[in-house]
Structure 1
């Protein structure tokens, strides 16, 4: 539907929003949507529960969000907690400040996380920047991966051009009460052109240039050009290929 034919919809308080096609949807309070929402902009402050799918250019959530279907947007901005039962696609960017749980996976150009990303499917993007942690049952595939851990992280496989993993030196106050020093990245396989790891456990690390830093436990390293190992790191074997 053309933009000129769309109408705005706004709601404050507690209530139910009709599914449909809109220009701008603004919700302040606690709201349920039975069905799908097709809009240019979705802006929610509070608690939003959508039984169907969401299609929009900008989806901005401040609070909590639950989507029973797919989420398809150009830009997602989440400040709080959210979950999506089906596939999540953000053609430009996904910015997560808090915690998000994705049942089927995430595809985006750029993903920035400050908090926790959980996905039972794969995560595919050009740039993945995480301050906190992630737990991905499938493959993490990105051109550039920058992980600064304050939470334990896990993925089955990680692939990218440039992969950097560090542990945050200063954790938030609540995390300081938890066993922060157990925060590690665990993966079966990590593969990239440039791989620089700290506090990582992996069966195989493969790359052109590989640095295995402090706190790492790696079963096998395969490298093409250069391999460096910190004195604290444990590496079962290293082979130039």
Structure 2
């Protein structure tokens, strides 16, 4: 039997396509995909909308996008703005812009963000590295190593003007190693925890070490 050869899609200008399983998908301009889409490589420069979930081994977006379902992939790179009605799952998620995960979780081995995001559920990654270039919100954040810093470079700050403070807010942050700046959280848990400048934390629970830097506010702390 002969293996099925996957087709390629290339949309330039303004166009549309039905969903399905493809090898390479390339969008330059504006595109609407009707139905779920699966591909080995998905690259977009411009604006696109997928009426369903999107699964791609390599996903790279430059511009604006909406996925009306889940986004799944191995390497996910976002430069611009992405709105997802479901969840996002990938080995590596790299954000340079704005991300809205409306329907659920963001799960990855590594989450690297330089921008702003709103994750309505759980952000979970083995390594979480956040530079707040805009307002960042998640219901809960968990991982092995969690680092949150305010960016010293204003390259994308104009994207977020008028949208709120360049800080992170969460109900719960939990990891083995936790370093936070400009963060507001109800509870922070970890083995080695550092609460840095601009933080307001309700309760810190730690097992090994707690450090406080600058004008950090910790209302209650407990060693477990």
Q: Do they superpose with TM above 0.5?
A: yes
Q: In 1, distance between residues paired with 2:183 and 2:160?
A: 22
What's the TM-score once normalised by structure 1's chain length? Answer: 0.88
In the comparison of the two structures, how many residue pairs are matched? Answer: 223
Matched, 1:43 2:26: yes
Residue 24 of structure 1 and its aligned partner are, at CA, apart by 1.5
**176 and 84 in structure 1: CA distance in 2 versus 1, 3 angstrom threshold:** closer
Contact 1:70 1:88 (C-alpha < 8 Å) held by counterparts: yes
Residue 175 of structure 1 and its aligned partner are, at CA, apart by 2.0
Contact 1:101 1:118 (C-alpha < 8 Å) held by counterparts: yes
1:69 partner SS:
coil
Picking from 4, 10, 29, the partner of 1:26 is 10
Q: In 1, distance between residues paired with 2:63 and 2:159?
A: 21
Q: In 2, distance between residues paired with 1:138 and 1:183?
A: 20
Q: Where does structure 1 differ by over 4 angstroms across 4 or more consecutive aligned residues?
A: none
What's the TM-score once normalised by structure 2's chain length? Answer: 0.94
1:51 partner SS:
strand
Picking from 182, 189, 193, the partner of 2:176 is 193
Contact 1:194 1:207 (C-alpha < 8 Å) held by counterparts: yes
CA RMSD of aligned residues (A): 1.8
- Give unpaired runs (5+ residues) of structure 1: 7-21
Picking from 178, 181, 187, the partner of 1:204 is 187
Q: What does 1:1-241 correspond to in 2, within 5 Å?
A: 5-6=4-5, 22-33=6-17, 35-90=18-73, 92-120=74-102, 121-172=104-155, 175=158, 178=161, 182-241=165-224
Residue 230 of structure 1 and its aligned partner are, at CA, apart by 1.4
Q: In 1, distance between residues paired with 2:193 and 2:30?
A: 45
Q: Which has the larger radius of gyration?
A: 1
2:134 partner SS:
coil
- Give unpaired runs (5+ residues) of structure 2: none
Q: In 1, distance between residues paired with 2:67 and 2:164?
A: 31
Residue 27 of structure 1 and its aligned partner are, at CA, apart by 1.4
